[in-house]
Structure 1
Amino acid sequence: MRSVILLVLLLVANPSFAVESDKVSHFAGSAALGGVADSVVYHTATQMGPGERVAASTGAALVPGFIIECVDEFSGYHFSWPDLLAGALGAGTGSVLGELVNGQFWISASGRQVRLIGHW
């Protein structure tokens, strides 16, 4: 449990030199879009499994980030693969969190272990 707390503290205590604020904004924006997209897919596409929902919502949430990078390329800035990677990681994280919120996964914690349990 201490290692989980330490990992969370390291992720929250983000020194300014470790990650650029631009990457954080790409990650956060895509994570929000991923959560919303997963919620929409969860409630509308009931025939899809959880893996298919996560993949579809991650792809849908990544589209605005890709468009932003294409606009950057043609407006004088350069296409940034690290920005797109941060967006992809954020979209995936938001999609998985959307599944958690919508009730497909359950977190089970007892004693010395924390498990992610699927309910489907």
Structure 2
Amino acid sequence: MNRGEITLLGSAFCVILTMHFTIQLLSQHLFYWKNPKEQKAVLIIILMAPIYAIVSFAGLLDFRGSKEFFMFLDSIKECYEALVIAKFLALIYSYLNISISKNMVPDEIKGRKFTIHSQ
């Protein structure tokens, strides 16, 4: 076997391992469904790993004339990443007991303004 085949087999093994752990973690969250609001966000965040693994594995495969296919996969990955960031922020707000419906930044997480004194 050459280096390319070894790399492809190693990455396929890593994708399968990622899928196994993701399914295991998802099933545990669904079995112990106690906080639906937080756990929905956690489930969305957990699904980020297999999406990245599958897109990376597909990038290793040699499809002829598939620039559009890879661009499509990459756009799905980027859109899902934006969703995960938004859900993570909502999860952090939920843990900190901060309401995001008022469209204002709470005092607890506001940045501090510093003045620079010139010498």
Establish whether TM, by shorter chain, passes 0.5.
no
TM-score relative to the length of structure 1? 0.31
Q: Which has the higher contact order (CA 8 A, sep 6+)?
A: 1
Could you state the TM-score of these two structures normalised by the residue count of structure 2?
Answer: 0.31
